[in-house]
Amino acid sequence: MVFDTKVAILVLDDLAVWQKLNVTAFLATGIAGGAPEAMGEPYEDAAGRQHARLLGQPMLIFAAGAGTLQRAWRQGIERGLSRAVYVRAMFSTGHDAANRAAFLLEPAEAPDLVGLALRGPRKDLDKATKGASLHP
């Protein structure tokens, strides 16, 4: 199936594995929360139990250096893509309000990104993720 939109999650390549997984999970929820129309239907198992809905399209996970993250950040803004962000300072917070406060303190044009998720038209996503490689 071909989708009109694409989802990409870029994660700083030199993070510890637990940090990469944590950042990816948070960013995926940001994209899902910002695009309720992209959510699939609830899952049901063979016993009839309901399970949560998942995003109805694939997400590509990329490893990226700091420069590539900054470039994708700028491209995401310039192209009007949906964005979810995770900055280094958020590793030292313990809840959502503290995360938002930490992000607000970042330089507006160059936050210390460790992760970025983008959603938008395929062509724009391809341009924004240029230079990043699929995570091994």
Residue range 5-134, CATH number: 3.40.1490.10
Does the pLDDT value for residue 105 go beyond 90? yes
Structure confidence at residue 71 (pLDDT): 97
pTM above 0.85, yes or no: yes
Q: What are the structure tokens assigned to 82, written together?
A: 């949906």
CA terminus-to-terminus distance, the chain: 24
Alpha helices in 35-110 (DSSP H): 66-78, 96-104
pLDDT (average), residues 89-109: 96
CB atoms within 10 A of CB 81: 22
Distance of CA 105 to the CA centre of its chain: 20
Does the pLDDT value for residue 2 go beyond 90? no
The residues with which 61 forms a beta bridge, in sequence order, are: 9
Does the pLDDT value for residue 134 go beyond 90? yes
Task: Rounding to the nearest 10 degrees, give the CA dihedral for residues 78, 81, 82, 85.
Answer: -50
Among positive and negative, which fits the CA dihedral 120, 121, 123, 124?
A: negative
Residue range 62-75, pLDDT digits in tens: 999 999 999 999 99
Q: Where are the domains of the chain?
A: 5-134
109 phi/psi in degrees, rounded to 5: -95, -10
